[in-house]
């Protein structure tokens, strides 16, 4: 016992000394503050971060809305400080006015590097600029725009609409109306089309004739798993933990490594096959256009293609899922769109003309120099689906199967997917027969 007390008396002074100076250092260091958010001297905002990690989007939105400046700051020991803003002036300053001062940075790029390499979605400076210029040039060509339209129209006519007709009890599906996860269907539609546009490969996530049992894509599964797990790195409150797991090859990092290996192997097979193809000059997909220039390595081409996939995999699917959910409570708007195929009145002026909102207030397609190159492609997809669906069908959301009193929860991912999907029943309009 005496030796125990002696040891404690020996250790206590250095412990107190280190604790005192650590507290002084943390207190003196400039840290962001947030209206209504308490920061602890040693733990910073870690307790609040952990307590609200399951509702991160709702939590940060509440803090941003409650702040006079419409922004929140946070700091956690072992992590970099951060600012989350909903102020349009801040967004414009970052994305356009002072764009060069706000790169993605080594920190963010390092988290995605093993998945996306240094493609357009995960690069800065000259490396980003040459890819942006080349991609922008290709996306401005009429031949690519026509190819996008053809791909979308074929997917809608041959797969998407037949699937909805079967779900409505028509078209050889046995006559029974089934509950359909519309978000899953839209994700499959989006992945088929972006794969065709990006590198001329049809993963058949939706099958011809709308038979879901015939639709399989291991590539879609691996890509989705890799994307979701990699994004989880950004939410780890202790930044070094994912690096340790990666080094030890355990937990989620073990799954990430396997998924990324599968995705890279699949993409590289397509890149190498395309290089050997004699008809590369006659193809319209993005990969073939870059291969034809004969300026890039296989790895660079792989990274370029994967950047397009991550941008287009679920963006339109998520947007359309929320659109159909909102529309289910506004039959008057659904009727107007069916009659005239026009936008919801949120974006219409008193004269009925479309009035686009500031991209710095509704940053759906980003803004400034990094404005989404696939914006027009997304509009083609969304308009084609909305017009075709509302012309022929009525979409009834099955609110009883949605947790939270029929209001879907968000999934914190690159896009705001619905947690648990969007269960719907499809009814075919009488005039469609």
**pLDDT value at position 344?**
57
Distance spanning both ends of the chain, measured CA to CA: 90
Asked if residues 324 and 182 have their Cβ atoms less than 8 Å apart, the reply is yes
SS (H, E, C) 47-86: HHHHHCHHHHHHHHHHHHHHCCCCEEEECCCCCCCEEEEC
102-127 burial, b at 16+ Cβ within 10 Å, e below that, comes to eebeeeebebbebbbbbbbbbbbeee
Partners of residue 99 on adjacent β-strands = none
Phi, psi of 72 (to 5 degrees): -135, 150
- Mean pLDDT, rounded, of the chain: 83
**pLDDT tens digits, 138-186:** 888 888 889 999 999 999 999 999 999 999 886 544 556 789 999 999 9
Please compute the mean of the pLDDT values over residues 286-309 and round it to a whole number.
Answer: 86
**pLDDT tens digits, 69-107:** 898 888 777 666 788 889 999 999 999 999 999 999 988
Which parts are annotated binding residues for heme? 372
Please compute the mean of the pLDDT values over residues 390-402 and round it to a whole number.
Answer: 89
d(CA 328, CA 333): 9
Instruction: Pick the more confident residue, 121 or 217.
Output: 121
**pLDDT tens digits, 212-224:** 666 567 888 898 8
**pLDDT tens digits, 250-292:** 999 999 999 999 999 989 988 888 888 767 777 888 888 888 8
pLDDT band at 13 (very low <50, low <70, confident <90, very high): low
d(CA 35, CA 51): 18
Whole-structure pTM value = 0.83
Nearest to 251 by CA among 243, 261, 262: 243
**pLDDT value at position 128?**
92
Which parts are annotated binding residues? 372
Task: Give the whole-number percent of the chain exceeding pLDDT 70.
Answer: 83
Domains of the chain: 14-86 (no CATH), 133-432 (1.10.630.10)
Check whether 23 has a pLDDT greater than 70.
no
Please compute the mean of the pLDDT values over residues 223-233 and round it to a whole number.
Answer: 88
Check whether 4 has a pLDDT greater than 50.
no
Asked if residues 138 and 286 have their Cβ atoms less than 8 Å apart, the reply is yes
d(CA 58, CA 407): 13
């Amino acid at each position: 016992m005496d030796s125990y007390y002696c040891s404690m008396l020996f250790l206590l002074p250095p412990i107190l000394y280190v604790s005192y100076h650590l507290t002084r250092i943390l207190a003196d260091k400039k840290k962001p503050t947030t209206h209504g958010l308490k920061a602890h001297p040693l733990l910073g905002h870690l307790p609040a971060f952990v307590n609200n990690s399951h509702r991160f989007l709702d939590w940060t939105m509440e803090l941003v809305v409650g702040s006079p400046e419409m922004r929140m700051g946070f700091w956690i020991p072992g992590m970099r400080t951060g600012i989350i803003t909903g102020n349009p002036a801040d967004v414009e300053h970052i994305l356009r006015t002072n764009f060069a001062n706000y790169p993605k940075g080594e920190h963010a790029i390092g988290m995605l590097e093993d998945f996306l390499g240094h493609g357009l979605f995960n690069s800065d400076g000259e490396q980003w600029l040459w890819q942006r210029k080349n991609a922008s040039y290709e996306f401005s060509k009429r031949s690519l725009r026509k190819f996008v339209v053809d791909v979308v129209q074929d997917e809608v006519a041959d797969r998407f609409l037949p699937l909805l007709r079967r779900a409505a009890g028509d078209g050889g599906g046995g006559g029974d109306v089934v509950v359909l996860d519309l978000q899953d269907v839209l994700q499959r539609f989006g992945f088929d089309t972006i794969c065709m546009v990006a590198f001329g490969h049809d993963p058949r996530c939706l099958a011809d004739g709308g038979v879901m049992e015939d639709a399989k894509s291991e590539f879609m599964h691996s890509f989705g798993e890799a994307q979701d797990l990699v994004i989880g790195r950004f939410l780890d409150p202790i930044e070094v933990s994912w690096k340790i797991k990666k080094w030890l090859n355990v937990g989620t990092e073990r799954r990430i490594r396997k998924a990324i290996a599968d995705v890279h192997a699949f993409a590289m097979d397509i890149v190498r096959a395309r290089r050997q193809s004699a008809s590369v000059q006659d193809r319209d997909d993005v990969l073939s256009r870059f291969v034809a220039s004969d300026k890039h390595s296989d790895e660079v081409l792989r990274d370029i293609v994967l950047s397009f996939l991550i941008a287009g995999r679920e963006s339109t699917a998520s947007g359309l899922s929320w659109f159909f959910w909102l529309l289910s409570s506004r039959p008057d708007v659904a009727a107007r769109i069916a009659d005239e195929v026009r936008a919801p009145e949120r974006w219409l002026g008193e004269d009925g003309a479309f009035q686009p909102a500031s991209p710095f207030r509704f940053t759906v397609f980003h803004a400034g120099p990094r404005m989404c190159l696939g914006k027009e492609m997304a509009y083609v997809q969304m308009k084609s689906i909305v017009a075709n669906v509302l012309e022929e069908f009525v979409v009834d959301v099955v609110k009883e199967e949605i947790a939270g009193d029929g209001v879907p929860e968000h999934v914190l991912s690159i896009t705001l997917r619905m947690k648990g999907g969007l269960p719907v029943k499809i009814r075919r309009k009488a005039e469609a027969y």
